[in-house]
Amino acid sequence: MRKLILKMSLSFDGFAGGPNGEIDWLFKSMDEATTSWILDTVGQAGVHIMGSRTFEDMAAYWPYSDEPLAAPMNEIPKIVFSKSGAVSRSGHGRTTQALKDATRLQAKDSHKSNPHTPDRTDTWENATVATGDLATEIMQLKQQSGKAIVAHGGAGFVRSLVATGLIDEYQLLTHPVVLGKGLPIFSDLSEPLDLSLISTTILGSGCIAAVYRPPASQNLVK
């Protein structure tokens, strides 16, 4: 069985983005130690899974980036979840406020500084599109052999994923900012979710990196 890990950055009050998906706040507390912690999580992945809007944002961003996270994000296979099956794999599809914030705040002119190259785009262009029932698709993935499944956003996809009860480990990076309102990830739970704290790391940036696991017996799938 493969382990399903949710990797997520959250504000102190538990939002994955501002009301319109803003993530400019996230970069204010990113430093080398914070990036290293994220790399440890991403490096565990045998496959990345995400919703379609996040996929299209990432396909437009990571192939052109020289950041430390670019290599594992570009090299590891992807599965994108889309009920309609309509996904742009070329990096020229729909984009969100998150991509605009990431591009602006990292001061990247990606299309000029890092030309489009096949070795960086293959796993995006060849990503698998999953259109079936989310819980069923995830169970089939977990039953395969291989390294961990690492889940990214967006917030809507993560809310649905959390509600399945199939996440084995939550690797959450809490940033030192209170948004007041925004995009939650736990609001679709039908009942409380008990978690055990496995580890906590306090980073110099003010972020708190925590790993939680639900009891093996707890399953919220109905």
pLDDT confidence of residue 120: 76
Q: Of 209, 207, 205, 210, which Cα lies nearest the Cα of 31?
A: 205
CATH number at residue 33: 3.40.430.10
d(CA 42, CA 152): 10
Does 220 reside within a domain? no
d(CA 78, CA 74): 9
Using 50, 70 and 90 to split pLDDT, how confident is the model at 196? very high
Using 50, 70 and 90 to split pLDDT, how confident is the model at 17? very high
Indicate the pairing of strand 128-130 with strand 148-151: unpaired
Does 218 reside within a domain? no
- As for how many domains the chain has, the answer is 1
DSSP 149: E
Where b means 16+ CB within 10 Å and e means fewer, 78-101 reads bbbbbeeeebbbebebebbbbbeb
More confident of the two residues 108 and 31: 31
User: What residues make up the domain containing 104?
Assistant: 4-213
Question: Mean pLDDT over residues 204-221, rounded?
Answer: 80
Least reliable range by pLDDT among 45-54, 77-86, 191-200: 77-86
Percentage of residues in the chain having pLDDT higher than 90:
64
Least reliable range by pLDDT among 58-62, 91-95, 185-189: 91-95
Least reliable range by pLDDT among 88-97, 127-136, 146-155, 171-180: 88-97
pLDDT confidence of residue 185: 97
Question: Mean pLDDT over residues 29-51, rounded?
Answer: 92
Q: What is the pLDDT of residues 71-105, one digit of tens each?
A: 999 999 999 999 888 787 655 556 566 655 566 55
Q: What is the pLDDT of residues 120-141, one digit of tens each?
A: 788 899 999 999 999 999 999 9
Does 57 reside within a domain? yes
Percentage of residues in the chain having pLDDT higher than 70:
83
Does 30 reside within a domain? yes
DSSP SS3 for 127: coil
Does 222 reside within a domain? no
Question: Mean pLDDT over residues 22-47, rounded?
Answer: 91
